[in-house]
């Protein structure tokens, strides 16, 4: 299994992004959660969205997947505007959202959960091939296929959530905090599998993460969100070298005495 401590190679690029987001604004009641966000995702690329709690990362995912309607802006997928589209139509179009917190159906078996991921597909042979593909990448799911999902460990439930998303045969996967609540060993394992899925199957991904180290090691390009805005973006390898990213996401900043300063005592100014 590949080592996620190495930065991802440059993704295949096409001239036109497969997903274009332009000046999106979404609200919770009177509160603006994302403010004029614009970004691109190209075929075969992994893009990571970094940011602290409340930065607007999950809101962005929900807006793309149709769970929330934007007040302003455009979301274009393969040349077609999809903002405001019903969530099941977004899935049918080829975008699958693997939500934060896994959200498996606890009383259904592993296999039943996977089958629900394929509800938009009609080709039974394709569904069988997709299921075998999922079992190939997540062999523990094959071993536990008859087990109720609610009895799986957290890491196994995360694998199931990703596998269920793959069953829809997506052209883009939106992954919201796949490392949440998992041990470092499991995070490494799951991110290595995501890397293989991208390299071997060409799965295009947008990844929301607070674990900046893991996210940037996996991604080709990264964006940083803060209070609903994009404040920085660039190739993941370059973001890893940024003083701001190193200071606020990859470890503490040390003062002249060698002691780590507390982040909340310093005001952030993006350079």
Report the SS3 class of residue 18.
coil
Q: Is the pLDDT of residue 254 over 90?
A: no
Sequence-distant (≥ 6) Cβ neighbours of residue 35 within 8 angstroms: 25, 56, 227, 228, 229
Per-residue pLDDT reduced to its tens digit, 196-241: 999 999 999 999 988 888 999 999 999 999 999 999 999 999 999 8
Average pLDDT, the chain: 87
Among 189, 193, 76, smallest CA distance to 135 is for 193
Q: pLDDT class for 92, splitting at 50, 70, 90?
A: very high
Burial class for 180, CB neighbours closer than 10 Å (0-12, 13-18, 19+): middle
User: Within a 10 A sphere around the Cβ of 88, how many other Cβ atoms?
Assistant: 11
263, pLDDT greater than 60: no
How many CB atoms are closer than 10 A to CB 150? 11
8-43 per-position pLDDT tens digit? 444 455 568 999 999 999 999 999 999 999 999 999
- Going by pLDDT thresholds of 50, 70 and 90, the confidence category of residue 260 is very low
| Geometric angle at alpha carbon 110, from 215 and 219, rounded to 5° | 10
Cα 246 to its chain centre, rounded Å, is 21
Secondary element (H or E) of residue 49? strand 46-50
Over residues 49-74, the pLDDT tens digits come to: 998 888 999 999 999 999 999 999 99
């Amino acid at each position: 299994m590949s080592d996620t401590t190495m930065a991802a190679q440059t993704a295949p690029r096409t001239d036109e992004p497969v997903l274009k987001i332009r000046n999106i604004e979404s609200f919770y009641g009177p509160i603006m959660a994302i403010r004029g966000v614009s970004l691109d995702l190209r075929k075969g690329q992994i893009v990571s969205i970094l940011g602290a709690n409340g930065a607007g990362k999950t809101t962005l995912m929900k807006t793309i997947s149709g769970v929330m309607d934007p007040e302003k802006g455009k979301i274009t997928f393969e040349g077609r505007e999809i903002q405001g589209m019903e969530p099941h139509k977004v899935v049918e179009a080829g975008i699958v959202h693997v939500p934060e917190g896994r959200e498996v159906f606890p009383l259904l078996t592993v296999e039943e959960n996977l089958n629900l991921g394929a509800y938009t597909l009609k080709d039974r042979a394709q569904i069988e091939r997709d299921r075998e593909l999922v079992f190939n990448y997540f062999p523990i799911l094959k071993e536990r296929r008859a087990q109720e999902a609610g009895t799986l460990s957290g890491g196994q439930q995360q694998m199931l959530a990703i596998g269920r998303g793959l069953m829809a045969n997506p052209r883009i996967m939106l992954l919201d905090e796949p490392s949440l609540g998992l041990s470092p060993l499991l995070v490494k394992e799951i991110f290595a599998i995501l890397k293989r899925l991208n390299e071997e199957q060409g799965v295009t991904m947008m990844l929301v993460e607070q674990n900046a180290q893991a996210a940037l090691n996996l991604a080709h390009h990264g964006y940083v969100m803060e209070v609903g805005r994009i404040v920085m973006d660039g190739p993941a390898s370059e973001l890893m070298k940024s003083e701001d990213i190193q200071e606020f996401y990859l470890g503490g900043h040390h003062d002249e005495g060698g002691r780590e300063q507390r982040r909340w005592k310093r005001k952030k100014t993006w350079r």
